[in-house]
Amino acid sequence: MDKLCIIGGIPLKGEISISGAKNASLPLMVASLLSDKPLTLENLPHVEDILSMANLLATLGVKLTMEGCGTSQNAQGKVITFDASTLSSRKAPYDLVRKMRASILVLGPLLARTGYAKVSLPGGCAIGARPVNLHLKAMEKLGAEIEIEQGYVIAKAPKGLRGANIEFPVVTVGGTENALMAAVLAKGTTCLTNAAREPEIIDLANCLVSMGAKIQGIGTTKLVVEGVETLFPATHRVIPDRIETGTYMIAGAITGGSITLRNARLDTLPAFVKKLREAGVILIEEEGKIHVSVEEEGLRGVDITTAPHPGFPTDLQAQTMALLCTAKGKSSIIEAIFENRFMHVPELIRMGANISLNGNTASIKGVNRLHSAEVMATDLRASVSLVLAALVADGKTTVNRIYHLDRGYEYVEAKLRSLGAQIERLKDA
């Protein structure tokens, strides 16, 4: 498995471009299943999860045509046209689903368009049990019969789905996306309440509208969908990746550097931006660029609780913890979304961080310096938090198992290197 070797202590300087959002791209790609008309997506990032989803869609019979391909960190993302008029299978097999949990998103569109879907249950993952019960309940509300057989969800609605009132007891991003896509082709009106309203869901809803869907309440916790019979060809540009944006903001700040992020937006990260400013990070947005630097007095501790959007994103929790490890004073982080999302803590402690854990609360006392170590990553965001810590640690840190990183960060070492970081990938022999 590939490793990253990083020599820390260099303040980052320069400008990079933020890629298209992975978590917006995945449901957008799946939305192509709803229609027999082509859907063209622009600004898709070149990351493993996108390849996995492309592979799954191809297995279902979708024809993919690549019109442009990013070849460097400054490239404009990929443009792919998805043509699901050739749909030939309604089964998402275990081997593909287990690689990427977001594969469960094909359930709603397949069921809505064809009245049947067989999708492997994704199972747990490093950050928690992550059930899909709310996805299945939503499909049942829309009139589907659901059975679980040999690890597969089998969903049937031979007479088609019909509109329903669906109230989510817990805010779920994937559950909202699945139900929203299914409701687009269901007969009558569907009302989703306590829906997630992450920017990625807004992006999906906007794309569905440009395909001909009738959706009201976009950006709120109540989505009302009037089912339609047919959809049209459409072209949609994926929003910039707000989690990648936040990650590089921290890279700039943790090294005491001064960097600029192109194609980035602060409005998709309200709670994160507020906390970073409270911690002493200077963030200035002008003309689609964000300038990142640190106040003269340096970084200071802050208290954080993760929450659904517009709250503090759980996907930036690990990276923010790395930042707070060297901030003056005390900080606390409560992880309120996933039950086991502190796998990076023991690794950060091995690099000299002072962190104690009590249930879902991490208490951090800032230290003057982190030091290098051999560390191992367990999930996507934990991996990048170790890279961030390594950027400021004394000496050479090796981050092992970086395949997690490749799932969600486009050209990570090229981008960091162009900001002046000393970072090298050691390929598995």
Q: Which is nearer to ligand UD1, 174 or 257 (by Cβ)?
A: 174
Decide if residue 148 touches ligand UD1 (CB under 6 A): no
Decide if residue 26 touches ligand UD1 (CB under 6 A): yes
Tokens of residue 296, six digits: 């003269």
Decide if residue 172 touches ligand UD1 (CB under 6 A): yes
Q: Which is nearer to ligand UD1, 135 or 350 (by Cβ)?
A: 135
**Looking at 66, 69, 170, 284, which residue binds ligand UD1 (CB under 6 A)?**
170
Residues 219-238 that bind ligand UD1 (CB under 6 A): none
DSSP letter assigned to residue 314: G
Q: Are 145 and 157 in contact (CB under 8 A)?
A: yes
**Looking at 39, 87, 110, 337, which residue binds ligand UD1 (CB under 6 A)?**
337
Starting from the edge strand earliest in sequence, which strands make up the sheet with 422-426, in order? 374-376, 396-400, 3-7, 422-426
Decide if residue 139 touches ligand UD1 (CB under 6 A): no
Do β-strands 222-226 and 214-216 pair in parallel, antiparallel, or remain unpaired? antiparallel
Decide if residue 315 touches ligand UD1 (CB under 6 A): yes
Decide if residue 102 touches ligand UD1 (CB under 6 A): yes
Binding flags for ligand UD1, 53-92, as an x/- string (CB under 6 A): ----------------------------------------
Decide if residue 130 touches ligand UD1 (CB under 6 A): yes
Q: Which is nearer to ligand UD1, 174 or 301 (by Cβ)?
A: 174
For ligand UD1, the nearest residue by Cβ is: 174
CA dist 159 and 398 (Å) reads 56
Residues 258-287 that bind ligand UD1 (CB under 6 A): none
CA dist 392 and 48 (Å) reads 27
b/e code 298-312 from CB counts within 10 Å (16+ = b): ebbbbebbbebbebb
Q: Are 252 and 276 in contact (CB under 8 A)?
A: no
Binding region for ligand UD1 (CB under 6 A) out of 129-137, 145-153, 232-240, 250-258: 129-137
**Looking at 108, 175, 246, 280, which residue binds ligand UD1 (CB under 6 A)?**
175
Please name the helix (run of DSSP H) or strand (run of DSSP E) that holds residue 250, with its range, or none.
helix 242-254
CA dist 237 and 307 (Å) reads 27
Decide if residue 246 touches ligand UD1 (CB under 6 A): no
- 3 burial type by CB count under 10 A (0-12 exposed, 13-18 middle, 19+ buried): middle
Compute the least distance from the CB of residue 143 to ligand UD1, in Å.
18
**Whether 125 is catalytic:** yes
What DSSP letter does each residue of 275-290 carry, written as one string? HHHHTTEEEEEETTEE
Q: Which residues bind ligand UD1 (CB under 6 A)?
A: 23, 26, 101-102, 128, 130-135, 170, 172-175, 200, 314-315, 337-338
**Active site residues per annotation:** 125
